[in-house]
A and B are shown apart, each in its own frame.
Chain A
Amino acid sequence: MLAKLAGVKLRARAVMEGVLSGLHKSPHQGQSVEFSEHKEYAPGDELRHLDWKAFGKLDRYYVKRYEHETNLKATLVVDASGSMGYRSGPLSKLEVATTLAGTLAYLLVRQQDAVGVSVVTRAGAADIPPRAAAGHLHTVLDALDTLQPSGGTDLFAAADHLAERVRRGQLVLVFSDLFDDRDEALARLLALRARRNDLGLFHVLDPAELEFPFDDPTLFLSLEDERRIEVNAREIRESYLEELQAFLDRTRAACAEADVDYTVVRTDEPLDAVLLRFLGRRLRRAA
């Protein structure tokens, strides 16, 4: 159904609704806007947050302050390399990545957090700095909506770029298939965690990449460069799956070691469930 919705905005909203409905069912609902402290009223504060009970006791105006008012800044990093354009089902990996990013942008903006976007390709990076304004959401979603897959994956460059542009302590959520041939690329990306950035990694993979369901002799063409190879897919399937599993295991282990939230996203699974899983883990960590 999600695939029938054109554009990131619609898909993200649909996913968000699922997430929100899921959140209502959660025993941890509302925890994200938890009361933090009282603050003496100053002009410009929202009147709805006035604590009338305190006024009655103390005859002074105080307003309640909540956690979301801690001013969270998040950067959504979307890999828009050519490989992200692959699809075996209705949605490409890039569409899934942008939908997830858009949904999270909705959620973050909804709770007054600043959200920005960084699109990385081998050609370079395009950034929208994080802002909390409601109108900023449209900017973010428009940027995600116009993304087209192209070029190769360069996690090295992306990590260096983020290290320069993202301030310490920011939430960084990366949406990528991590198909970078260099072994050190992932380590460089995870190094952001050492800069006290809260890092989350959405590893977006297509079911065909995970299962390799090919039988006939196939000429595989690279989506990022001129590489091509003719193989009997059935003959190498076992070996391919072993290689891929080893890659996933390495990635998962590296993320665990770096205390990075790692989520494997199949492009054919419900994205709200993915996000609920993600949010649930984060709430548990925060608790």
Chain B
Amino acid sequence: MTFAQPWLLLGALAALIPLAIHLFDRRKPRPHPFAAIAFVLRSQRRTASRLKLKRIILYTLRTLILLAIPIALARPELRRPGAAVSKAVGPAATVVVVDRGLAMRFVDGESLFEKARSEARSALATLGPEDPVTVLPCGPEVVPPTAPGLDRSEARQTLDRMRPAWSTADLARCFEVAARTLEESPTAGKRIVVVSAFTAGSLRLETPLPTVRGPNDKRVRPEMVLRDVARGRKVLPNHFLSAVKAEPAPQAGARAVQVAFTVRNVSDAPAKEIQATVELGGRVVGKTFLELTPGGTAQKTLTVRAEVGGPVAGAVILSPDGLAEDDRRDFVVQVPRELRALVVNGSPSPVRYRDEVFFLEAALSAPSSPIRPVVKDASAGLREPLDGYDVVVLANVPAPVPEEAARLKAFVERGGGLLVSVGDKVEPEPWNARMGELLPRPMRLVKAAGAESGAGDGRQAKLGEVRWGDPLFAPFSGRGREGLMGARFQRYMLVEGGARSDGSEVLAAYDDGAPAFITTRRGRGRVLLFTSTLDRDWGDFAIRTSYLPLVQRAAAWLAGALDEREALEGRVGQTLTLRPDPQAQVTSVRAPSGVVVQARLETDHGLRVGPLPEPGLYQTFDSGGQLVPGSQFAVTLDPADSDLTRLDEGQLQAYFGEEAVRGPGGTADRRVPIWTWLVVTAAMAFFAEGLLLRKP
């Protein structure tokens, strides 16, 4: 009940006046000697009970008058849920379509889902005993319900089992299924009861309402009865994370992660002081506050630091609102691991800038680099135990002796990375003989370009064909790509022409077609052969802007760190193809709630997982049921589902017809003014009092 002028309720205190008069204003009766007192006594005895009752009624009426008038002046109104128009005459087969979409998780004092369940139970209770009924839980997927029956317990059990979904319901699809179900019933009357919050996303207004087969096989529309669980609300105010992007931020230091997120406010009111918290590895690493205008969007970027490298689970969490489910968004970010690189310097020089690894060391040990290089000369470096390193760089190193070559081979096959660059110390024959099993392709001879070649044009070589899609070169775009393509080479090592079966891949080639970067897999490791020098001896690549990122990226790629960065993210309801390490033998995937998600191995060794049932972090398990480390992935809600804008009265009337949407009360609270009744009550009490007073 609401009051337009609540302060006038103070006037209700006037209802105490009759009581006060009764208690305090007792007039002293006038004494009168009287002869016929016997008749007075007899009359009093005769009328005592009637008079007592009359006094009580009078007191009640006067109190009622004095109570009703001020309450009426305060203009009270009752809010009543609208009931639907019932057009069916006689029994009607009924399908109760209950929206269980994401919007129903909205909490408005009580969750809309529970309200919907109560409304559906109420709808069942109002049906006649001869109305067959069934319940259709309506989510993003629709399962045809059982045929309408007279057994209410089955319908109630369906309601009890129903759970809210993580995506928007498809009401139009549900209406179609409901109409088909109704056609199965022999009962002449057909009715669809819709229990929903009627958000814009749940109902495609361009889809026509379904029809059922009526008398004479004519298609008729079933009676539509709407029960709106968000009555009286124009909008369900909701702010939510529409996008989150987390990526390593090497420029901000080791293990730095840049988290950029977008927050939307779908409401007709501003959202103030929204706290956004960033968690990494279960630890709060950043906080910020946002202000959002009605319908506005805000973007924030936080740079945070992870405690460890590798795949790290994180989340952005907003201060919760009515729909808390979309105020958290999980992600998995590959934090660059700290890589240890052994750089074997094959041509040291006391003049630093002429040293073979001067530029390489500077690039690898840059402040933002995750690589920690250890530089050794050839004799020491090749004897160095390799267990503590992720990558070995052989920079213009003479061919290793067989023992050293064997250790290198074992290192690579265990998963290590090997980068080989050439130079004047590299002789193809011994290299091919001792390191042939590791090299992508055998070396042939050194080719001179430009002035050194003695050719007429004097043109230096440059990169001609580059596989930009390869992880090694993927970051190069725009000016970065121009910087790489601008490098000039006077000499480079030619390699043997490769066969497709040797597993080598040319990632980049010079403009004459000779391979510049060739890679191959050896065991679990990778080998990358750069057919020129890493210093300025054979070209100017070392002083190009592309040098630093390329060598850092090459080291990371060789160590397998680039593969780890490809964190997957899925959407609820969709399927996702995982490409786990074949040796990990991932066989099952579990949702955050522990539910095992359907996973199917495909011919290309991908693991197709889905449909993904819920948002959050998913874990993968091997055939032994053991958790596969580093293979978790995040699943998020579709931001479009978080837009809880409601269909307005006019739209619903236009779609369902005015007979289904019973005026404003059909989808909103029916405001029943009761002050008029109070005035009538007061008038009637006044009239009754007059009658009682008139008739002694």
Interface status of B41 (Cβ within 8 A of chain A) = yes
In the complex, the answer to whether A220 meets B40 with C-beta atoms within 8 Å is yes
Contact of B35 among A179, A218, A236, A242 (CB under 8 A): A179
Given contacts A229-B41, A236-B47, contact A221 B36 (CB under 8 A): no
In the complex, the answer to whether A227 meets B32 with C-beta atoms within 8 Å is no
Interface residues on A, range: 35 or more
0/1 interface trace, chain B 157-194, chain A, CB 8 Å (1 if under):
00000000000000000000000000000000000000
A217→B29 CA distance, assembly (Å): 5
A113→B47 CA distance, assembly (Å): 51
0/1 interface trace, chain A 193-231, chain B, CB 8 Å (1 if under):
000000000000010110000101111111100011111
Contact of B37 among A85, A214, A220, A247 (CB under 8 A): A220
Given contacts A214-B32, A216-B30, A223-B33, contact A243 B42 (CB under 8 A): yes
Interface status of B51 (Cβ within 8 A of chain A) = yes
Given contacts A236-B44, A239-B43, A243-B43, contact A223 B35 (CB under 8 A): yes
B42 contacts which chain A residues (CB < 8 A)? 243
A93→B35 CA distance, assembly (Å): 10
Residue of B nearest to A214 (CB): B32
Residue of B nearest to A87 (CB): B35
B272 contacts which chain A residues (CB < 8 A)? none
A239 contacts which chain B residues (CB < 8 A)? 43, 46-47
A223→B43 CA distance, assembly (Å): 18
Interface status of B479 (Cβ within 8 A of chain A) = no
CB distance from B28 to the nearest CB of A (A): 8
B29 contacts which chain A residues (CB < 8 A)? 216-219, 230
Given contacts A218-B30, A234-B696, A235-B51, contact A240 B43 (CB under 8 A): yes
CB distance from A276 to the nearest CB of B (A): 27
In the complex, the answer to whether A222 meets B37 with C-beta atoms within 8 Å is yes
Given contacts A217-B27, A231-B40, A239-B43, contact A177 B35 (CB under 8 A): yes
In the complex, the answer to whether B33 meets A86 with C-beta atoms within 8 Å is yes
Interface status of A244 (Cβ within 8 A of chain B) = yes
Given contacts A216-B29, A218-B29, contact A247 B39 (CB under 8 A): yes
Interface status of A181 (Cβ within 8 A of chain B) = yes
B696 contacts which chain A residues (CB < 8 A)? 234-238
In the complex, the answer to whether B39 meets A243 with C-beta atoms within 8 Å is yes
Given contacts A235-B51, A243-B39, contact A218 B32 (CB under 8 A): yes
Residue of A nearest to B47 (CB): A239
Residue of B nearest to A216 (CB): B30
Contact of A83 among B30, B35, B44 (CB under 8 A): B35
Interface status of B34 (Cβ within 8 A of chain A) = yes
Interface status of B38 (Cβ within 8 A of chain A) = yes
Interface size on B, residues (CB 8 A): 22
Residue of B nearest to A225 (CB): B37
Within 8 A of A (CB), among B85-101: none
A229→B34 CA distance, assembly (Å): 10
A219→B32 CA distance, assembly (Å): 6
Interface status of B31 (Cβ within 8 A of chain A) = yes
A33→B13 CA distance, assembly (Å): 83
A85 contacts which chain B residues (CB < 8 A)? 35
Contact of A240 among B31, B32, B33, B39 (CB under 8 A): B39
In the complex, the answer to whether A223 meets B34 with C-beta atoms within 8 Å is yes
A228→B43 CA distance, assembly (Å): 14
In the complex, the answer to whether B40 meets A219 with C-beta atoms within 8 Å is no
A181→B37 CA distance, assembly (Å): 10
CB distance from B26 to the nearest CB of A (A): 9
In the complex, the answer to whether B37 meets A227 with C-beta atoms within 8 Å is yes
B33 contacts which chain A residues (CB < 8 A)? 86, 220-223
Contact of A229 among B27, B30, B37, B46 (CB under 8 A): B37
Interface centre among B33, B40, B41 (most CB of A within 10 A): B40
CB distance from B120 to the nearest CB of A (A): 59
A236 contacts which chain B residues (CB < 8 A)? 40, 43-44, 47, 51, 696
B40 contacts which chain A residues (CB < 8 A)? 220, 229, 231, 236, 240
Interface centre among A85, A86, A236, A240 (most CB of B within 10 A): A236
CB distance from B53 to the nearest CB of A (A): 12
In the complex, the answer to whether B35 meets A229 with C-beta atoms within 8 Å is no
Given contacts A220-B40, A230-B29, A240-B40, contact A209 B35 (CB under 8 A): yes
A219→B47 CA distance, assembly (Å): 17
A242 contacts which chain B residues (CB < 8 A)? 43
Given contacts A229-B44, A236-B43, contact A219 B35 (CB under 8 A): no
Residue of B nearest to A234 (CB): B696
Residue of B nearest to A209 (CB): B36
Given contacts A181-B38, A235-B696, A237-B696, contact A220 B32 (CB under 8 A): yes
Residue of A nearest to B32 (CB): A218
0/1 interface trace, chain A 111-139, chain B, CB 8 Å (1 if under):
00000000000000000000000000000
A221→B46 CA distance, assembly (Å): 19
B39 contacts which chain A residues (CB < 8 A)? 240, 243-244, 247
A205→B45 CA distance, assembly (Å): 23
Residue of B nearest to A84 (CB): B35
CB distance from A166 to the nearest CB of B (A): 27
A181 contacts which chain B residues (CB < 8 A)? 38
Given contacts A86-B34, A235-B47, 19 further A-B contacts (CB under 8 A): A83-B36, A84-B35, A179-B35, A179-B36, A209-B36, A216-B30, A217-B30, A221-B32, A221-B37, A229-B37, A229-B40, A230-B29, A231-B40, A232-B51, A235-B51, A238-B696, A239-B46, A239-B47, A243-B39
Q: Closest 8 A-B residue pairs measured CB to CB? A: A86-B35, A83-B35, A239-B43, A217-B29, A219-B29, A236-B43, A240-B43, A219-B31
Give chain A's interface residues, CB within 8 Å of chain B: 82-86, 93, 177, 179, 181, 206, 208-209, 214, 216-223, 227-232, 234-240, 242-244, 247
Q: Can you name 11 A-B residue pairings with CB atoms under 8 Å? A: A216-B27, A217-B29, A221-B33, A227-B37, A231-B43, A235-B47, A236-B40, A236-B44, A236-B51, A243-B42, A244-B36
